[in-house]
């Protein structure tokens, strides 16, 4: 997966970051003919935006998140990276406490059984008598569980790079909606795919479904604007998906596909309101989704299967 590269430029009208090949700004839809290189404008606040009160900015773009944090500062992606890092740290400490070797912890965070303790999503045939529908919140909690440093590192790097385009373009409120809903529906797609008899059971986790949602949102934004660059970007997304699909790493490509399609649809649907301020229902939904993220991260500790899995891990360690 790739994000904005060396060809990233900043719109002189609204300051949003764009890929040079977009032709028109992903946020204000103005021509990018006089855009400046992103490295010269990365920290520039657009000239048309003025402060009114503590931290507030007005002008092209959505309102500051919580009234204080402009979308250019990427408060949404910073929040999601923090939540992912927090869960990953808990995974590492828990696995080490239960006697996992350092190599296993660094490479896979202790494995699938450890991941279950922190919210990973089992498939239909993972273990006898368990149905994923008994704990549907795992379709969200699994978005914050990772298997090793490489897994979380790649996901968070891709998320940050893509979010530099999407969060300022949509505004933080709409960005939160795209990220969380893409993650949930990505894992819902994964569960539906796993119903097929030739699909192996197993355990899924990782933010990649949500990351692919942000990837897809770029194409959705461009399409809604009537920007012809959406076709090339869509091909780039499909190329990334195809590459991951053939890698022999047991990746959950159904979650990638579900997140990608969801993000593209939401990017197109929500960009109709950008770069204007978000609506009341969008803000309410975004705040509810953030609360749901926190609840889903905490929920595994109260699962009736939590002590059973702890006991099983303990027996395996002793054998």
Instruction: Give one DSSP letter per residue of 74-114, joined into a string.
Output: -HHHHHHHHHHHHHHHHHHHHHHHTT--HHHHHHHTT-HHH
**Could you read off the pLDDT of 97-155 as tens digits, one per residue?**
877 666 666 666 567 788 999 999 998 777 777 888 899 999 999 999 999 899 999 99
**In the predicted model, is pLDDT for residue 260 greater than 90?**
yes
Burial class of residue 242 (count of CB atoms within 10 Å of its CB; 0-12, 13-18, 19+): exposed
Confidence of residue 2 (pLDDT cuts 50, 70, 90): very low
Which of the pair, 77 or 271, is modelled with greater confidence?
Answer: 77
pLDDT of residue 248: 60
Rounded to an integer, the average pLDDT of 244-273 is 87
Residue 228 Cα distances to 11, 15, 20, 263, angstroms: 18, 21, 13, 19
**Could you read off the pLDDT of 206-215 as tens digits, one per residue?**
999 999 999 9
Confidence of residue 50 (pLDDT cuts 50, 70, 90): very low
Q: What is the C-alpha separation between 181 and 198, in angstroms, rounded? A: 28
Residue 34 in contact with residue 12, Cβ under 8 Å?
yes
DSSP letter assigned to residue 304 = T
Residue 214 in contact with residue 263, Cβ under 8 Å?
yes
Which of the pair, 74 or 108, is modelled with greater confidence?
Answer: 74
Query: 3-state class of 278 per DSSP?
Result: coil
Q: What is the C-alpha separation between 17 and 9, in angstroms, rounded? A: 6
Q: Which two tokens stand for residue 106?
A: 């660094």
Q: What is the C-alpha separation between 7 and 26, in angstroms, rounded? A: 15
Burial class of residue 154 (count of CB atoms within 10 Å of its CB; 0-12, 13-18, 19+): middle
Q: Which residue has the tokens 């809903």?
A: 181
Asked: is 62-318 a CATH 3.40.50.300 domain? The reply is no
Question: Cα 104 to chain center, whole Å?
Answer: 25
pLDDT of residue 51: 43
């Amino acid at each position: 997966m790739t994000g904005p590269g060396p060809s990233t430029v900043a719109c002189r009208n609204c300051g949003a970051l764009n890929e040079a090949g977009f032709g028109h700004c992903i946020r204000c839809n103005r021509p990018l003919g006089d855009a400046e290189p992103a490295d010269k404008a990365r920290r520039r606040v657009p000239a048309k935006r003025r402060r009114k009160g503590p931290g507030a900015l007005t002008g092209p773009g959505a309102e500051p998140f919580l009234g204080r944090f402009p979308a250019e500062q990427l408060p949404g992606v910073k929040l999601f990276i923090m939540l992912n890092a927090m869960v990953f740290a808990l995974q590492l400490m828990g696995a080490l406490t239960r006697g996992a070797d350092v190599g296993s912890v660094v490479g896979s965070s202790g494995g699938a059984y450890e991941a279950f303790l922190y919210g990973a999503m089992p498939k239909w045939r993972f273990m006898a008598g368990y149905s994923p529908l008994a704990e549907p919140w795992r379709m969200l909690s699994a978005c914050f569980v990772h298997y090793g440093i490489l897994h979380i590192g790649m996901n968070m790097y891709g998320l940050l790079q893509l979010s530099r385009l999407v969060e300022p373009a949509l505004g933080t409120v709409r960005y939160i909606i795209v990220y969380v809903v893409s993650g949930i529906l990505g894992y819902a797609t994964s569960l539906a795919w796993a119903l097929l008899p030739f699909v192996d059971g197993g355990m899924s986790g990782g933010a990649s479904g949500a990351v692919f949602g942000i990837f897809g949102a770029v194409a959705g934004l461009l399409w809604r604007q009537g920007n012809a660059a959406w076709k090339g970007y869509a091909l780039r997304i499909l190329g990334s998906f195809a590459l991951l699909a053939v890698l022999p790493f047991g990746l959950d490509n159904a979650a990638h596909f579900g997140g990608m399609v969801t993000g593209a649809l939401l990017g197109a649907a929500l960009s109709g309101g950008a770069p204007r301020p978000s609506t009341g229902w969008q803000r309410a939904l975004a705040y509810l989704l953030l609360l749901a993220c926190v609840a889903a991260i905490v929920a595994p500790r109260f699962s009736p299967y939590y002590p059973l899995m702890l006991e099983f891990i303990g027996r395996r360690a002793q054998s």
